[in-house]
Structure 1
Amino acid sequence: MTHKIAILGASGYTGAELVRLIATHPEMEIVALSADRKAGQSMASVFPHLRHLDLPTLVKIDEIDFADVDLCFCALPHATSQAVIRELPKHLKIVDLSADFRLRDPEAYAKWYGGPHAALEQQAEAVYGLTEFYREEIRSARLVAGTGCNAATGQYALRPLIAAGVIDLDEIILDLKAGVSGAGRSLKENLLHAELSEGYHAYAAGGTHRHLGEFDQEFSAIAGRPVKIQFTPHLMPANRGILATVYVKGEAARIHEVLAQAYAQEPFIEVLPFGEHPSTRHVRGSNFCHIGVVADRIEGRAIVFAALDNLTKGSSGQALQNANLMLGIEETTGLMLAPVFP
């Protein structure tokens, strides 16, 4: 059976990544692509690397007939998604890649995103899209909220450790480096090559990054009490990739054992041998996440690393993994492609 797919916001990086992944998916067909400023153009003109594909022309959202669409990916900007999704047909399965439905508490959303939520009914039904931990809920969901790419990386490193009680919950420091594609495709002066290359800097320091809302929500739910981590993201002059370096208080060998056991059956999570740590270059363009554990020189402390591609496992690959579950397709379909190296 072939499922008909629409992608809203197909002219952005995550939209293009969805097209790249779905292009070879044996059970999905892209029947509609939307864009705003680029409506009327072909995907080949917007993304020349996709010119070999026979794809629909980009159109405005209100030009799409959703009657025969089985699932819609929304790769729209934050705040735009909630207004659009609120008006979509009720029969339609939706995977949202924005931040609009990640937080369950409307007050938490207002705190982190600076205003009230405009689609509370949909917010209440949304399932958090961290596939490995919400798999069964995702299977039966109508609306799945994709995680933040930084939030996903940190959670893969920490969720099993919090659940197993093997680290001090008040001693967690997450130092994260992210590639520039995570900032989106819109023109920004600070992302110009001359401004970004040959440099490396922190941003949203001091606990202001919005993905902290996801960390607070998820880690506190696992622990059964409030958990707040220290988190500082950094922008690195690379197109893709996230590397999380997490400093924790706990016994390193036990931490590695817990992670290895937690992910032993997960097709996309690779826990490296004890003492090894991952690189973003080893997951580039793939839906894999590599995790490593190293003992610190200070006794009773450890360093946990997690690396993934922000556009694939951190966003569009995760979205396709969730869509497979929602449509009753084998979860790994279309996603087992090897990383691109070098």
Structure 2
Amino acid sequence: MEDSRIALPIGTTLDRYIKKKQDEFQYATGELSQLLRDIALAGKVVNREINKAGLINIVGPIGAQNVQGEDQQKLDVLANIRFIRALTKGGEACAIISEEDEEITDLNNDGKYVIAIDPLDGSSNIDVNVSIGTIFSIYRRVTPVGTPITKEDVMQKGNEQAAAGYLLYGSSTMLVYTTGHGVNGFTYEPSLGEYFLSHPNMSIPENGKIYSINEGSYSSFSTPVKSYVNFCKENSYSGRYIGSLVADFHRNLLKGGIYMYPPTAASPNGKLRLLYECNALAFIVEQAGGSASTGEQRILDLQPEELHQRTPLFIGSKNMVSKVEEFYGV
């Protein structure tokens, strides 16, 4: 056998890639690079806990609710602890906004970045071994370093993100992120404990044939949403809905498609949170050539007014999102 086939190259590690690309970061002084490494490390720890969850009794509800009024799962709480601990010890984040915490966590340090995070997306799928994930946004604070965190630091539009990404815990664990210079995906190799570049320069097809929506709420959808769903059916699109936002988004990012969470009778403002779910994925999808909208407005242009503000979301292939907006009359 040829030597070249015996020892094939294993690829570019996340750490090496970040160092190589650091000059692309605005204000590049190393903090943002280290922040991404801290998130990647916490992702390794959470991945480990998820993989052994059924063996050490950390599946199922914990018996409490988060600020959203949703039942917390044991792994929700564990993931929140792991990410906050990693970000606190890293020192680059000055404040953390988490789905699991009612208030801002002010770290009272000289960090330059505000992190908004959903530590474990897809809680309803934890106990049935279906893909789940972590979503994060990174903003550069706007007030002077060392001063108390203010509303101005936290309530920033999505178009002001310095970086955003997600971790997907599925058949393999992946970290996908952008710093505003395209989207790249890294797959975790557990035997080496490293993320390797596996999906460089990710782009979403302009058109797709997949639509992802909870059709169980169809009767309470608005007329524009019903019209678009009917349009998908009439054109023989495939309905694919996992119920984990990250998993549905990731599939559509690779294959082309649209994910939709519109207003419903139960959630008149939509269910997904602007600061730590929608903004991050909207930044990623636009960097990959797609679109994200409320149906009437670009997600990244929304001005947050509340920490846990909800918004409708239509996200994915550009032409599919545009078609939804047509039904809304935009």
Q: Normalised by the size of structure 1, how large is the TM-score?
A: 0.26
- Higher RCO (C-alpha under 8 Å, 6+ residues apart): 1
Q: Normalised by the size of structure 2, how large is the TM-score?
A: 0.27
